[in-house]
Amino acid sequence: MSTQQYRIISAEDSEIHGEPHIKGSRITVRDVYARVEGRGLAPERVAERYNLDIADIYEALAYYHTNPEEMRRIEERHERAAAEARERSSLAPPEN
């Protein structure tokens, strides 16, 4: 019997924004979720576009749903960073 090899790199071991991602790629679990469940793209299309195996896409989706607290924290971190970036870009330069 063979041992299942998982291809998701955990957030703790990830060098990509501290987010879980598909091993051998820079595609994060959050990216896969956003494309498939957020935008409604077919998993096959996402796999093809990023040259991934369809199993990688489903594994990323399973990881997202199996780790809701971790993914919620990551989403919140990105929302805060986006809000800070919007605030910085909307600030007027100081007057002399």
Query: Block means of pLDDT (10 residues each) for the chain, length 96 residues?
Result: 70 86 94 97 98 96 95 94 84 63
Q: CATH classification of 8-89 is 3.40.30, yes or no? A: no
SS3 call for 13:
coil
**Looking at residue 18, what is its pLDDT?**
87
Alpha-carbon span 45 to 41, nearest angstrom: 7
> Can you give the pTM of this predicted structure?
0.81
The full length of the chain comes to 96
